[in-house]
Amino acid sequence: MPAGGCIGYLRVAHWLGVGVPGARRMRRVRCPVMRRGGMPSFIVEGGRPLSGRVRPAGNKNAALPALAATLLASEPVTLENLPRIRDVETQLELLAALGAKVSWSDASSVTVDPRGLRTSELDPSLAKRIRASILLAGPLLARFGRATLPPPGGDVIGRRRLDTHFLAFSRLGAEVEAGATFQIVARRLRGQDIFLDEPSVTATENALMAAVLAEGRTRLRNAAQEPHVQDLCHLLNAMGACIRGVGSGTLEIEGVEGLKGTRFRIGSDHIEAGSFIGLAAVTGSEITVEEAPIEHLDSTLLAFQHLGIECSIQGRDVVIPADQSRRIRAESGGYVPKIDDGPWPAFPADLTSIALVTATQCHGTILVHEKMFESRMFFTDKLVAMGATIILCDPHRAVVVGPSRLRGGVVESPDIRAGMALLIAALGAEGRSRIHNIGQIERGYERIDERLRALGAAIERHA
């Protein structure tokens, strides 16, 4: 099909909804999310305005590489402000299966003692649950000189290649053999000048974690610059690494002989902050996002301004007033307005689903262009069934015409971000909705039903 073709209201009969397998219990890791069991769903009574204050949890995409990085230390590492979500729990189980000691010291702080590591082979049943299992490759390679990795799991949102990871490892001196598992072996890692063939977040993180203990200097070009990559750099530096250029596309890493333990606080999740802005806009509510990562919200706030959503910055808080024009800004020259994602600091790909559902309640027409993942837009058929006017032009582009009167319905969460978008739609819709496969949402959003109820939402979790 040509890229410019339009297949309108595409229904994806073969949609792959990925559930979260029953969690294996760890002796010392207890997470409330994992005790809620079964195949639950959310029952939502929509059409109610919300109000109140909500605080973003720790950044999921910073927490997962940070947990992986603890394996590089010669002493215990304590991470604060970890989100209590399924993906974090699974990453902790992976660490424990490798021999690390893991313990929660309070509601959001975990200490990892990596001194008991005994293997460089990941548990396949755990690795297939999350994409972040691939982040253990760099630390294991640096610690053991080898890593055995089953194919990682994660959201089914399109092609998610691993070639950039292997390119970086190869440049550092490793040999990679792909089969039923990935075998990565390096007698000695040596620093190199590496140009990544794409600014992949996880590949940048893996290259960083391997390079900090490599011999000599590594120059990592075309590196990802996302807030979670910056967090990882700051953590590694706190552990004794020498990384310069943090926040830029070129990172200079001077290899060191070893890393020490430390205490480090994970930053607030800018994706959660953006999700709550979308929630306020769709439900016509006044919500204050407390302690928001203001420095990481420029592109997000700009995108919502295109949708007619204005936010007020008050210190470290973002206030979204209930009274919004929700009128899509016209482009000069008569062009159809658009929101599109891109590598940081552009609008985050993880917020395109939220922007799209917000657009269904705004006056006008807008193109939402998801450039990075070709399956992320397929959830739009569920919004169409709820009454939205959306034309899915191809796997990357959807035209939204609003505002639409949304009706409650029965839907299934296909991935973390689409699941949150559907939950927001249900809260803004008339009548009752049931959302299945909510384990996907809970992989990325901590106690989301409890936090929404605190804002006045009528939402119940049913087993």
| Closest to 460 measured CA to CA, from 49, 32, 42 | 42
Neighbours of 394 (CB within 10 A): 17
Query: What is the β-pairing status of strands 182-185 and 217-221?
Result: unpaired
Residues contacting residue 175 through CB under 8 Å, at least 6 positions apart: 184, 185, 186
The answer to whether the CB of 324 falls within 8 A of the CB of 281 is yes
Cα–Cα distance for residue pair 199/290, rounded to 1 Å: 31
| Closest to 318 measured CA to CA, from 282, 374, 370, 278 | 278
**Residue 155 bears catalytic tag:** yes
Active-site position among 87, 106, 123, 155: 155
Cα–Cα distance for residue pair 232/62, rounded to 1 Å: 7
Query: What is the β-pairing status of strands 410-412 and 77-80?
Result: unpaired
Q: How far is CA 97 from the centre of its chain?
A: 24
The answer to whether the CB of 157 falls within 8 A of the CB of 341 is no
Look up residue 263 and give its amino acid.
R
The answer to whether the CB of 453 falls within 8 A of the CB of 431 is no
| Closest to 203 measured CA to CA, from 296, 131, 311, 108 | 131
Helices (H) and strands (E) in the chain, counts: 14, 23
Cα–Cα distance for residue pair 347/193, rounded to 1 Å: 29
**C-alpha dihedral, 445 to 446 to 450 to 454, nearest 10°:** -80
The answer to whether the CB of 392 falls within 8 A of the CB of 380 is yes
Neighbours of 447 (CB within 10 A): 17
The answer to whether the CB of 196 falls within 8 A of the CB of 223 is yes
DSSP state for residue 356 in the 8-state scheme: H
* Residues carrying an active site annotation: 155
